[in-house]
Amino acid sequence: MQSVAFLSLLFIFRSYNQHAHLFISFPINLFIKMTINSIKSSLLLAPLLVLSISALSQDAKPVENKKYLSQPLVKHIYTADPSAHVFNGKIYIYPSHDIEAGVLENDNGDHFDMRDYHILSLDKIGGKVTDHGVALDIKNIPWAGRQLWAPDAAYKNGIYYLYFPVKDKQDIFRIGVATSKSPTGPFKAAANPIKGSLSIDPAVFTDTDGKSYMYFGGIWGGQLQRWRSTSYNLKGEEPKDNEPAMGPRVARLSKNMLEFDEPVEEIKILDKDGKQLLAGDHNRRFFEASWMYKHKGKYYFTYSTGDTHYISYAIGNSPYGPFVYKGIILNPVQGWTNHQSIVDFKDKTYLFYHDTQLSGKTHLRNVKVTELVFNKDGSIQTIDSVQDK
């Protein structure tokens, strides 16, 4: 009974931790894992193990005494990681399609076990949202193993390109490409991943001169720390806290948009004094969810800080950076992950993001949109996805 009470206390504390945005879940997870290990050692207490594991996956409870800034764009399926683009005067959203795959939650993100993509479209913000059905299924990607994560899309010369991260058959994340004559697919996947690609969360930005760049990478479950040298190292770790943080990657795409046109580069994110952000600076360092946005000639590199749950931005003068950290675009949302895209539409700028309003579960998310506002000096007004009632 004491163990039950102890586990309940840990669970309550962890939920409180999510609501209060005090993110110290790693030591708690470690503690819970140690507790689970000791429970495992006692067969008599096996039912408690089942109880505690189901508690662990319920970690994104609805907010109380707050109201959500925006409502889910669709409710019939779970969607996340919305990459929005305007094609032919319409907004198209390329999201992940979250499902309940029954995989236990862990720090590698195994519970995000998605298997296809659906594309959404809308004529105007606040208007009807259409789900165009399955645009690409994992079973039609010849090299794919598991976990279709955050995709993006691009258009060039009559062809739409869908870029997606998925683990290959060796369980290594790579980035693939698929093509279609329609923005909503169906898309046909290339036979192999993009040569030189690694990790997750591709975001393709086409500059005003027509050149396209892919930004990508993500640490922890996104495996970027396994690529600190030129080859993949399963045991690769993040730099020490006092060393420069790992940066996202960038490469210009070839004219046919199917491969990299140059060696992949690591991007630097600097503080206001020109020093690279450190790996221990969890409030500001890059974690995942790259998105490039150009505003008044400046390059805004936006990203998630992962375990501190912010969407942040850093500004540079070139698509390659370096970028100087400027601040927070979106405060933590309900749920562990935070992931954004930014798009201009009819004289306004919009932030697409997700939270877990519909499910209360961190791996079953719903995409949303809200307006993004710039100050006169080019800084961005920070958004809270929940407001006081």
Point out which residues bind ligand FUB (CB under 6 A). Answer: 80-81, 96, 112, 149-150, 200-201, 288-289, 337, 339
DSSP 222: G
- Residues in contact with 317: Cβ distance below 8 Å, sequence separation at least 6, in sequence order: 298, 299
- Directed axis angle between helix 25-40 and helix 46-56, to 10°? 160
Placement of tokens 């009807």 in the chain: 128
Check: CB of residue 268 under 8 Å from CB of residue 276: yes
Alpha helix ranges (H) inside 204-356: none
Check: CB of residue 78 under 8 Å from CB of residue 354: no
State the minimum distance, in angstroms, from the CB of residue 147 to ligand FUB. 8
Count CB neighbours of 127 within 10 A.
Answer: 11
Tokens describing residue 263: 């060696």
> Judged by CB, which is closer to ligand FUB: 91, or 311?
311
Cα 232 to chain centroid, rounded: 22
The amino acid sitting at 359 is S
The torsion region of residue 102 among left (phi > 0), alpha (psi -120 to 50) and beta comes to: left
Check: CB of residue 153 under 8 Å from CB of residue 81: no
Q: What are the counts of helices (DSSP H) followed by strands (DSSP E) for the chain?
A: 3, 23
Identify each DSSP E strand in 123-244 by its residue range.
129-137, 144-146, 152-156, 159-168, 173-180, 188-189, 203-206, 212-216
Instruction: Report, as residue numbers or ranges, the catalytic residues.
Output: 81, 288
Check: CB of residue 53 under 8 Å from CB of residue 46: no
Which strand (E) or helix (H) includes residue 251?
A: strand 249-252
Q: What is the dihedral of CA 310, 314, 318, 322, to 10 degrees?
A: -100
- Nearest Cα neighbor of 262 from 324, 326, 213 is 213
Burial of 38 (0-12, 13-18, 19+ CB in 10 A): exposed
